[in-house]
Amino acid sequence: MIDELLNFNKTFVETKGYEKYITNKYPDKKIAIVTCMDTRLTELLPAALGIKNGDVKIIKNAGGTITHPFGSAMRSLLVAIYELGVEEVMIIGHTDCGVQHMDSETMLQHMRERGISQDHIEMMQYCDINLNSWLSGFNDTEEAVQKSVHIVRHHPLVPQDIKVRGFIMNVSIRRNAPFTL
């Protein structure tokens, strides 16, 4: 599959398909969005918000949450604020998220089935990584978004003038209000 992507990229470069996407590293709208890596959001989220290449910084992870005040998502937000001029932050969760109700024991079992040794798992725990917490999902999307907003708003390194708001995107077309925040 990667070779297929690379072949497409070769043609993309040869035909200068990139030209319509040229912009700089600074977000025109001065907004950073933290959202889920869910494949349904790749084109849907920008379309639903009317954003284009260069408008915003998008930080994606499993669940679209800030789970640790000093994790990589929070670090990315700090870079966006201090180095790239971001003034507002949107935390956008979504309905039917794969991280919702994710169970750490099930994931650890999948790891063992794929050849990860119990010794490696125990080494993580010896290094003071709580795998049960780290590999668990959330039960309530609204609560997860609120927790993320709280972490960003109250982070000791985030200036008080940064606006932080949380949203939940409905990704189901079977509901009365599809694709809304």
Per-residue pLDDT of the chain (181 residues; tens, 9 = 90+): 999 999 999 999 999 999 999 999 999 999 999 999 999 999 999 999 999 999 999 999 999 999 999 999 999 999 999 999 999 999 999 999 999 989 999 999 999 999 999 999 999 989 999 999 999 999 999 999 999 999 999 999 999 999 999 999 998 766 555 445 4
pLDDT of residue 66: 96
Measure CA 148 to chain center: 11
Distance CA 39, CA 88 (A): 24
What token pair was written down for 21?
């996407």
pLDDT of residue 100: 93
| Single-letter amino acid, residue 64 | G
User: How many residues are given for the chain?
Assistant: 181
Residue where the block lists tokens 């109250």: 154
Instruction: Name 35's bridge partners.
Output: 60, 92
- What are the φ and ψ backbone dihedral angles of 36, each rounded to 5 degrees? -80, 155
Distance CA 158, CA 95 (A): 28
What is the value of pTM for the model shown? 0.90
pLDDT of residue 176: 55
Q: Cβ–Cβ contacts within 10 Å for residue 14, how many? A: 8
**CB 78, CB 151: distance < 8 Å:** no
Residue 171: C-alpha distances to residues 8, 15, 59, 92, 157 (Å): 28, 34, 18, 12, 33
DSSP E strands in 62-107: the ranges are 88-94
- Sequence-distant (6+) residues with CB within 8 A of 137 are 63, 97, 99, 100, 101, 102, 103
**CB 55, CB 23: distance < 8 Å:** no
pLDDT of residue 26: 96
The number of CA neighbours under 13 Å toward the Cβ of 132 is: 0
What token pair was written down for 52?
């284009």
